[in-house]
Structure 1
Amino acid sequence: MRVQYRYNPAILGVTPQVITRWVPIFGLWGGAVGVAALFFLEPIPRVRNVILQKIPAVGSYWDRPVDPNDSPF
């Protein structure tokens, strides 16, 4: 019987098989953290105007017009 060696690339013990197993999990957690960050940053006007108002069908929820009496201009 002949012994055959196979090269299994690994960096600090992380192999391609480990990466393919963990990528979907990290993707879900990353998406959840991103959505939570958007809602946490909702009071900032730039986030509200540039990101949240662009969401189809619910973007008008974040539309907060300024009363002309409160405008400094």
Structure 2
Amino acid sequence: MARISYTTVSPLTHSLNVTKRWTTSLGIWGVGAGAAALLFLSVTPLVRREVLVKVPVLKLYYEDTTPASDKPF
């Protein structure tokens, strides 16, 4: 017959276990939400100029090379 052994778990250990379980999931959802926000806001001139142009890999794609004489405003 199996014996059941109950041990006490300190509150600190319990909170660390819960934190470890949720950190990965919340991190993945946070990265996904941030990427979606940048995707939807990439057409906004402020986001394009202040955020996306300053990322080294994305700079060439989002940089505006249109001469000033060809812009309507």
Fold equivalence (TM over 0.5): yes
The question of 1:51 aligning with 2:13 is answered: no
Query: Structure 1 vs Structure 2: percent identity of aligned residues?
Result: 31
In structure 2, stretches of 5+ residues that fail to align are 1-6
RMSD: 2.5
Q: How many pairs are equivalent? A: 65
2-side partners of 1:68 and 1:49: how far apart?
Answer: 16
Structure 1, unmatched stretches of 5+, are none
Alpha-carbon separation, structure 1, partners of 2:57 and 2:43? 20
CA deviation map 1:8-65 (0-9, x unaligned): 328xxx8331111110110111011101101110111110011101111331111124
SS at match of 2:64: coil
Deviation for aligned residue 1:71? 5.4
